[in-house]
């Protein structure tokens, strides 16, 4: 027996506020989302849950890191390409000024012990953050920078 789950998409409501559409119905808060699609908090839906929580909380400021290895390659290459003291042309700030994050800490989104955990990159500066939110408080995720070393 298969279960048909509602379609989930990220977007914006008519007033411009971030919204999650559940089978075409816009919701603008995590509690509303849980009311229509509680299955999104299942461990096998951690990526979708992370994308929804991040979208509602931060809109386009952060992007969920879906592939930690690919992100690590991108970050290392961009960090290495920057000359010390030179600001990268594709970011508001040079990565070398922040240092090298502990990239091995970055994992795929997960739900464990009633807590959503994911990593997201700040789209303006390129720095990764660890994001955590208890499943009963998805409207207020905590964004904490990944520890850095080697600041120049």
Q: What share of the chain is helix, strand, coil (3-state, %, to 5)?
A: 35, 30, 40
Q: Which of 53, 47, 44, 22 is nearest to 35 (CA)?
A: 22
Burial 46-57, CB ≥16 within 10 A → b, else e: bebbbbbbbbbb
Q: Which pLDDT tens digit goes with each residue over 12-29?
A: 988 889 999 998 899 999
The pLDDT value recorded for residue 60 is 82
Q: Which pLDDT tens digit goes with each residue over 119-146?
A: 999 998 889 999 999 999 999 999 999 9
Q: Which pLDDT tens digit goes with each residue over 72-97?
A: 999 999 888 876 665 555 555 667 77
Model-level pTM? 0.88
What average pLDDT does the chain have? 88
What's the residue count for the chain?
152
The pLDDT value recorded for residue 89 is 54
């Amino acid at each position: 027996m298969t279960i048909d789950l509602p379609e989930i998409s990220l977007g914006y409501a008519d007033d411009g506020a971030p919204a999650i559409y559940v089978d075409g119905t816009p919701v603008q808060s995590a509690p509303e989302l849980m009311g229509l699609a509680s299955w999104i908090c299942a461990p096998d839906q951690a990526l979708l849950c992370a994308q929804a929580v991040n979208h509602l909380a931060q809109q386009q400021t952060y992007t969920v890191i879906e592939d930690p290895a690919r992100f690590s390659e991108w970050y290392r290459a961009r960090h290495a390409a920057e000359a010390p003291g030179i600001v990268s042309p594709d970011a508001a700030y040079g990565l070398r000024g922040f240092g090298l994050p502990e990239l091995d800490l970055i994992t795929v989104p997960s739900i464990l012990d009633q807590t959503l955990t994911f990593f997201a990159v700040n789209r303006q500066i390129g720095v990764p953050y660890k994001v955590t939110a208890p499943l009963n408080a998805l409207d207020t995720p905590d964004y904490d920078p990944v520890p850095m070393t080697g600041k120049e």
